[in-house]
Amino acid sequence: MAKTKLSTSESQTRQLAKEILEKRTNYLKEGAILFALEGDLGAGKTTFAKGVGEHLGIKKPIKSPGYVLVAEYPYDSSTSAGKLFHVDLWRVESVPEAQALGIKDLIKPGNVVIVEWAHRVPELIDEICRIKNLKVIRVEIEHKGRKERKIRYGQIN
């Protein structure tokens, strides 16, 4: 049940991220949400993550975790409180290496986890999808032009 939207700017991509999370924000009281982001380098994965952070009211700039691999941003909004974890699997070369990051341990009520380059470890994402009290949303971002992005998204568990 995937939906597709066309984004013609970074602000539209951030806005779409906000809208997708907004529809699920109440769920954070009982569970966690994980965004499995897929797309080429420069597709807009970190831009999408910035939109999620904005919706949660995070003031600290959201950047690609890069060499850190996992960045943590606490948040406290009017509807929920928890942490946003931004995970970058660009340099991860195997499922065991990704598992060592402890992504499954981040899945707690109130937490939002964003996994960039999720398609590099599909077995781990499939395993994570079986965790109770978790909604997993796959987001595929595809270049369609210099500024245009085709964004397909949908819940996969």
pLDDT digits (tens, 9 = 90+) for 2-25: 899 999 999 999 999 999 999 998
- Listed in sequence order, the DSSP H helices in 71-157 are 95-99, 122-128
Q: Which domain holds residue 106?
A: 3-155
Cα–Cα distance, 113 to 84 (Å, whole number): 6
DSSP label of 120: G
What's 43's domain CATH number? 3.40.50.300
DSSP label of 106: G
pLDDT at 35: 97
What are the pLDDT digits (tens) for 89-119? 988 888 888 888 899 999 999 999 999 999 9
Kindly indicate the confidence band of residue 42, based on its pLDDT and cuts at 50, 70 and 90: confident
Coil, strand or helix at 4:
strand
User: Which among 137, 52, 46 has a CA at the least distance from the CA of 87?
Assistant: 46
Number of domains in the chain: 1
Residue type, 61: P
Q: Which uninterrupted H or E stretch holds 85? A: strand 81-88
* Bigger pLDDT: 65 vs 120: 120
Kindly indicate the confidence band of residue 1, based on its pLDDT and cuts at 50, 70 and 90: low
